[in-house]
């Protein structure tokens, strides 16, 4: 048997976020386009050398991006919306980044989550124009590795079916035209790669793990039939991940040279399919045996046993040992994390360590010998030591969990009854204006926090700085004229990390960054033990801010499911149990905020939807415990206390029931890039609770005009009543600059006042 190891993809940000710094330097004009391209090339080659040095046998190119791979494909195919005034031919970097971030003349393309991960991609827009191959950058990367490193790599492409499914702008009629244009472009890319010497081309088709209709299956069969007929010499590895392959009997027979399967998240289904249908004898199997989305060390003995069972069941003659998906979703290496608890550190495995594990597994399956002494016993010992950690045996947490009863999940009165009580108590104007939570974290804020963390300033000095910055922004909000204030979150680096640092059961890394969107990188906390609230986490800062104004200042918390989904979570107990532990901790914090006189409390759940299983038939179980965790955290408040929540990039039409089930008094939705679609959705699915429709895009540096916002407000009133309607940006403002933030908010308030004046004229 022929057996090699490979990776579907590797983190492109670099061990020390070299990629991020290069991109942001270019945006700021600190480096030229020529310097930018040279630095990016150096980073690409270094990443390949790194993987080679770890023992990876088949390297991958095309997993690198200047911003996002879906955007890369869209520009490669000439899918540039007309609003960017593209002249044709190669898409310049200015146009590329305008699509990602917007500019003074055009809003950015929509951004949404990549399946059920924490990564956001740019949604390609098809406008019916003639597509073209503008530049085969995959060929450039392949030749670069071949010439610079002497490596015949595996180019990776997002497959045509997935690209089609994740694009927008076509309907049932124009879909055929879109497909007919796409296939020849894919053929050109493949032909050029084969001519250049590519032995394998990886076609990533994660959409093939979704629930597929009969027409979908026929379309996939036709697409790959055409690719095989036109380029018969191309060896395509059809790569699936995040779940088991749907319609296995039909799709396993596609005319491709290999099929990659996820034997982590899709283990049960893919194994069942192998037993029922077998695996084509003439195809290479990609065995996704290591979890590409978590950071836990694998039990090598178990992984070897599973790999051998898969090989025996499938009876293939050639296989690739690989992670379950791209390693983009995990940090680069744990070698900088020596400050972590030793037991925890030993149980971790990031991208580099996972590649080493792949090498060990491949070696043993082939030769029945380990590449390093004691590897198998070390992995088992590390896992068992963490299982016995004292932080996983918290008696108080277990006692609190055992006393949860159904009444803890329900507010005493219905929304309609609460709404009137809150209106009388809060006395807010019609169309109240607010923001989502965070304000710009300036260079001064970041420098001061860094100085505090490095103990160059005292705790008292840091607290005084945060207090003064909060006071400054309370005054700015007064001048802008907002109705409900926030304290700005200047003491917080990240909306999950901040709470994790104050709860037991969490650990934090020094350099374990992963990309969230564009150049935005995050360090997810590690939930390794039982989660426990020990002291107030937010009360002092909120109360200090509230004392500076007669306007209401919202308490700001991150919800239990978002904390769960945006962390690396222990894998020894069900996720539902971890979510409930977090919910109980937040419940205690909310009690403290209420006791301190805070009347409006926002508990954000931007990640509730993204945690959905990819198959709809699995949604109910997740939503049941996810919604209950939110209610466990929030339902104990007084009827007069107003609970807000916030969600990002939410497909409202297929998620309205779970949103309604949260029973939040007000929800703000991040929809500015797809506002028209939300309006249509709400026409079909009426929503009765309070709602704030994000009226401008905070991910773009452009300042929206008053007229733009006013138009959105008037359109929104077609489907939202005055009594329901809150007005706010579509997300937090932490990453924006101060000047653009103030200007945008002033325009938002001006548009709201214009709306109120129109209402008064109508009423009079």
SS3 320: strand
Q: What are phi and psi of 238, to 5 degrees?
A: -80, 110
Structure tokens at 506: 């969490």
325 annotated to bind ligand:
no
Q: What are phi and psi of 77, to 5 degrees?
A: -95, 5
246 annotated to bind ligand:
no
648 annotated to bind ligand:
yes
Sorted by sequence, the CB contacts under 8 Å of residue 704 that are 6+ apart come out as 695, 696, 697, 744, 747, 748
Catalytic status, residue 699: yes
Structure tokens at 110: 């929509």
Structure tokens at 639: 């009827």
> Which of the following is catalytic: 120, 360, 487, 699?
699
CA–CA gap between residue 678 and residue 670 (Å, rounded): 10
707 annotated to bind ligand:
no
CA–CA gap between residue 649 and residue 139 (Å, rounded): 33
688 annotated to bind ligand:
no
CA–CA gap between residue 22 and residue 10 (Å, rounded): 18
DSSP assignment string, 33-49: HHHHHHHHHHHHHHHHH
109 annotated to bind ligand:
no
> Could you tell me if 257 and 283 are in contact, meaning their C-beta atoms sit under 8 angstroms apart?
yes
Structure tokens at 718: 């077609």
Cα atoms in the Cβ-side hemisphere of radius 13 Å centred on 761: 6
Pairing of strands 568-569, 526-533: parallel
CA dihedral 376, 382, 383, 384 (to 10 degrees): 100
CA–CA gap between residue 612 and residue 624 (Å, rounded): 11
472 annotated to bind ligand:
no
763 annotated to bind ligand:
no
For the chain, helix, strand, coil in percent to 5 are 50, 15, 40
> Could you tell me if 253 and 228 are in contact, meaning their C-beta atoms sit under 8 angstroms apart?
no
Exposed / middle / buried, residue 280 (Cβ in 10 Å: 0-12, 13-18, 19+): middle
Which residue, among 187, 169, 259, 194, has the nearest Cα to 225 in the 3D structure? 187
> Could you tell me if 22 and 43 are in contact, meaning their C-beta atoms sit under 8 angstroms apart?
yes
268 annotated to bind ligand:
no
Q: What are phi and psi of 8, to 5 degrees?
A: -70, -35
> Could you tell me if 351 and 331 are in contact, meaning their C-beta atoms sit under 8 angstroms apart?
yes
113 annotated to bind ligand:
yes
20 annotated to bind ligand:
yes
The Cβ of residue 693 has, within 10 Å, a number of other Cβ atoms equal to: 26
> Could you tell me if 644 and 668 are in contact, meaning their C-beta atoms sit under 8 angstroms apart?
yes
17 annotated to bind ligand:
yes
438 annotated to bind ligand:
yes
CA–CA gap between residue 280 and residue 257 (Å, rounded): 10
> Could you tell me if 96 and 33 are in contact, meaning their C-beta atoms sit under 8 angstroms apart?
no
CA–CA gap between residue 494 and residue 604 (Å, rounded): 13
CA–CA gap between residue 636 and residue 554 (Å, rounded): 17
CA dihedral 156, 160, 166, 171 (to 10 degrees): 170
Residues in binding site for Zn(2+): 646, 648, 670, 731
Residues in binding site for L-homocysteine: 436-438, 489, 604
Residues labelled as active-site residues: 699
Residues in binding site for L-methionine: 436-438, 489, 604
Residues in binding site: 17-20, 113, 118, 436-438, 489, 520-521, 566, 604, 610, 646, 648, 670, 731
Residues in binding site for 5-methyltetrahydropteroyltri-L-glutamate: 17-20, 113, 118, 520-521, 566, 610
């Amino acid at each position: 048997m022929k057996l090699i190891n490979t990776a579907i993809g590797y983190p492109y940000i670099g061990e020390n976020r070299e990629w991020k710094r290069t991109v942001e330097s270019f945006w700021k004009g600190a480096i030229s386009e020529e310097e930018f391209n040279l630095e990016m090339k150096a980073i690409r080659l270094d990443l390949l050398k790194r993987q080679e040095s770890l023992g990876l046998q088949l390297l991958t190119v095309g997993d690198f991006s200047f911003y996002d791979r879906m955007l890369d494909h869209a520009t490669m195919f000439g899918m540039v919306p007309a609003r960017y005034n593209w002249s044709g031919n190669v898409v310049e970097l200015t146009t590329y980044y305008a699509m990602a971030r917007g500019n003074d003349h055009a809003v950015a393309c929509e951004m949404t989550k990549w399946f059920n991960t924490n990564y956001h991609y740019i949604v390609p827009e098809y406008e019916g124009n003639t597509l073209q191959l503008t530049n085969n950058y995959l060929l450039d990367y392949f030749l670069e590795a071949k010439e610079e490193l002497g490596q015949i790599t595996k180019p990776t492409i997002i497959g045509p079916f997935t690209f089609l499914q994740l694009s927008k702008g076509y309907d049932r009629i124009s879909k055929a035209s879109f497909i007919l244009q796409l296939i020849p472009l894919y053929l050109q890319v493949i032909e050029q790669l084969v001519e250049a010497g590519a032995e394998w081309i990886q076609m990533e088709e994660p959409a093939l793990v979704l629930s597929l209709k009969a027409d979908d299956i026929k379309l996939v069969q036709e697409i790959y039939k055409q690719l095989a007929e036109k380029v018969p010499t191309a060896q395509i590895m059809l790569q699936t991940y995040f779940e088991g392959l749907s319609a296995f009997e039909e799709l396993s027979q596609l005319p491709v040279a290999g099929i990659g399967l996820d034997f982590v998240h899709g283990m049960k289904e893919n194994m069942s399919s192998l037993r029922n249908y077998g695996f084509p004898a003439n195809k290479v199997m990609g065995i996704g045996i290591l979890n590409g989305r978590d950071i836990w060390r694998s039990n090598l003995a178990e992984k070897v046993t599973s790999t051998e069972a898969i090989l025996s069941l499938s009876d293939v003659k050639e296989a690739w040992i690989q992670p379950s998906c791209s390693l983009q979703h995990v940090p680069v290496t744990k070698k900088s994390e020596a400050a972590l608890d030793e037991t925890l550190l030993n149980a971790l495995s990031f991208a580099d360590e996972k590649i080493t594990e792949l090498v060990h597994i491949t070696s043993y399956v082939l030769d029945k010998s380990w590449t390093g002494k004691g590897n198998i016993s070390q992995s088992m010992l590390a896992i068992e030591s963490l299982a016995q950690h004292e932080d996983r045996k918290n008696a108080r947490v277990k006692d609190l969990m055992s006393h949860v009863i159904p009444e803890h999940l329900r507010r005493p009165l219905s929304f309609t009854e609460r709404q009137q009580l809150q209106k009388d108590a809060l006395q807010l104007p019609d169309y109240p204006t607010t923001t989502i939570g965070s304000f710009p974290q300036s260079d001064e804020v970041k420098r001061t926090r860094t100085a505090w963390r490095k103990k160059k300033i005292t705790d008292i000095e840091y607290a005084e700085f945060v207090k003064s910055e909060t006071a400054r922004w309370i005054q700015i909000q007064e001048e802008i004229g907002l109705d409900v204030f926030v304290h700005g979150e200047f003491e917080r680096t990240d909306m999950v990390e901040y709470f994790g640092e104050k709860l037991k059961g969490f650990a934090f890394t020094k350099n374990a960054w992963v990309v969230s969107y564009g150049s935005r990188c995050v360090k997810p906390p590690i939930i390794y033990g039982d989660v426990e609230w020990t002291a107030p986490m937010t009360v002092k800062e909120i109360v200090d801010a509230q004392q500076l104004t007669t306007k209401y200042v919202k308490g700001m918390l991150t919800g239990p499911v978002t904390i769960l989904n945006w962390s690396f979570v222990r894998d020894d107990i069900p996720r539902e149990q971890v979510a409930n532990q977090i919910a109980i901790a937040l419940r205690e914090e909310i009690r403290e905020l209420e006791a301190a006189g805070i009347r409006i409390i926002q508990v954000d759940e931007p990640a509730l939807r993204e945690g959905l299983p990819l198959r709809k038939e699995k949604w109910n179980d997740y939503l049941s415990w996810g919604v209950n965790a939110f209610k466990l955290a929030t339902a104990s408040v007084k009827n007069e206390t107003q609970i807000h929540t916030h969600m990002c990039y939410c497909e409202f039409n297929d998620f309205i029931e779970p949103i309604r089930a949260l029973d939040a008094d007000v929800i703000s939705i991040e929809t500015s890039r797809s506002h028209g679609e939300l309006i249509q959705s709400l026409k079909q699915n009426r929503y009765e609770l309070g709602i704030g429709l994000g009226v401008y895009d905070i991910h773009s540096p452009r300042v929206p005009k008053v007229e733009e916002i006013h138009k959105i407000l008037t359109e929104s009133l077609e489907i939202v009543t005055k009594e329901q309607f809150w007005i706010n940006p579509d997300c937090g403002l932490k990453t924006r600059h101060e000047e653009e933030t103030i200007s945008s908010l002033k325009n938002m308030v001006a548009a709201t006042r214009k709306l109120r004046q129109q209402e008064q004229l109508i009423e009079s």
